[in-house]
């Protein structure tokens, strides 16, 4: 089956190893290897026994190269429907391979300090006794006290490393829970942020590979537009209640979903480094993404009174496709955080105030 589809739909370019050919989409704009009648594993190639049979030019199940200091890591692109399912559902899908000893002239800006911070954050992400909000809070305790100079100042390198390790040692479950219990809760303010970003996502959501989701995103957009400040605050309260009743039991039954998503974001993005923002904003965006995905998932559960793993995957996938396809998405999110008063270390953690 795969061979016959490939012979019919792959056009060889032979320009270079990374641009050897292209896949011709079907008349309704689907990848020919894409099966729409599956639950959450869509790609015929990705579902085959031999994971290494995927062509380099496959646009719907891509491996991408991630730079990390003197390594070139292989990772999956969460914007692909099949890759998203593998990332969230497979315990080992992200651990692919890395090639060391990149030429010195192509050295990335990720130094030992970034690697230390990244390692500490990943350690937190893998702590099963913590909820997603608690893990995000703990990651903030590592990242937010640092400034730009801490990552590059060689004179204070050892001192900064010791401070990070000491700070990490303090992040016990009891310390995290006690600290988070003091975070103020503001439903109107949370709705203001959700409505700003949610309206953009739902209006521009690309549902080409998951057309069954189109009605959902249209309904979310319409509902957001109809809310006032007062009813919006009530809506956030309803979404949180729906999360506790319907979504959280599913997440608890499959805890690797949360762990894999957070680990993927830290590993794939080289967190907290980002070429277009500072380390604090990188954290703000991570918290915001989790806040948005949590409430969008609750929207689905509220509308359909259930939550299946496949729909959770679809929501995460489409949200991240919006992130990638619209170049102004990160800027718009940052502006929304500023306008809503969340663009600050002391206020961004207010998005983490949930009872789980």
Span 45-70, pLDDT tens digits: 655 544 444 444 344 445 566 666 66
The answer on 205 and 145 residing in a single domain is: no
Domain count, the chain: 3
In which domain, by residue range, is 87 found?
Answer: 2-106
Task: Locate 230 and state its tokens.
Answer: 């007062």
- Return the ∠ at Cα 222 (arms to 221 and 226), rounded to 5°: 120
The answer on 190 and 170 residing in a single domain is: no
Residues 147-196 have pLDDT tens digits of 989 998 989 989 999 999 999 999 999 999 999 999 988 999 999 999 99
Instruction: Evaluate if pTM is beyond 0.85.
Output: no
pLDDT at 279: 95
The answer on 212 and 88 residing in a single domain is: no
Domain C-terminal end among 73, 106, 139: 106
The answer on 197 and 306 residing in a single domain is: yes
């Amino acid at each position: 089956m795969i061979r016959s589809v490939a012979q019919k739909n792959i056009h060889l370019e032979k320009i270079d190893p990374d641009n050897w050919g292209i896949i011709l989409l079907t008349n309704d704009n689907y990848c020919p290897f894409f099966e729409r009648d599956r639950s959450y594993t869509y790609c015929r190639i990705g579902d085959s026994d031999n994971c290494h049979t995927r062509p380099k030019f496959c646009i719907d199940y891509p491996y991408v190269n991630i730079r990390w200091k003197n390594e070139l890591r292989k990772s999956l692109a969460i914007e692909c429907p099949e890759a998203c399912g593998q990332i969230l559902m497979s315990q080992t899908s992200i651990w692919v391979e890395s090639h060391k000893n990149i030429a010195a002239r192509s050295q990335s800006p990720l130094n030992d300090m970034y690697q230390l911070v990244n390692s500490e954050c990943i350690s937190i992400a893998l702590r099963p006794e913590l909820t997603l909000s608690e893990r995000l809070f703990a990651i903030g305790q590592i990242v937010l006290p640092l400034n730009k100079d801490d990552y590059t100042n060689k004179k204070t390198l050892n001192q900064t490393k010791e401070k990070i390790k000491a700070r990490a040692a303090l992040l016990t479950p009891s310390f995290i829970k006690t600290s988070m219990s003091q975070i103020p809760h503001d439903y109107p303010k949370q709705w203001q942020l959700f409505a700003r970003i949610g309206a953009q996502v739902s209006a521009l959501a690309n549902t080409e590979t998951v057309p069954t989701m189109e009605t959902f995103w249209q309904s979310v957009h319409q509902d957001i537009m109809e809310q006032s400040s007062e009813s919006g605050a009530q809506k956030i309260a309803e979404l949180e209640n729906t999360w506790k009743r319907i979504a959280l039991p599913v997440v608890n039954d499959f805890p690797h979903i949360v762990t894999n998503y957070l680990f993927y974001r830290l590993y794939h993005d080289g967190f907290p480094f980002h070429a277009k923002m500072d380390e604090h904003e990188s954290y703000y965006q991570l918290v915001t993404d989790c806040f948005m995905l949590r409430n969008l998932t609750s929207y689905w559960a509220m509308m359909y009174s259930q939550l299946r793993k496949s729909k959770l995957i679809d929501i995460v996938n489409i949200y991240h496709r919006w992130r990638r396809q619209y170049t102004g998405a990160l800027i718009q999110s940052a502006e929304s955080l500023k306008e809503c008063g969340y663009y600050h270390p002391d206020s961004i953690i207010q998005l983490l105030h949930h009872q789980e």
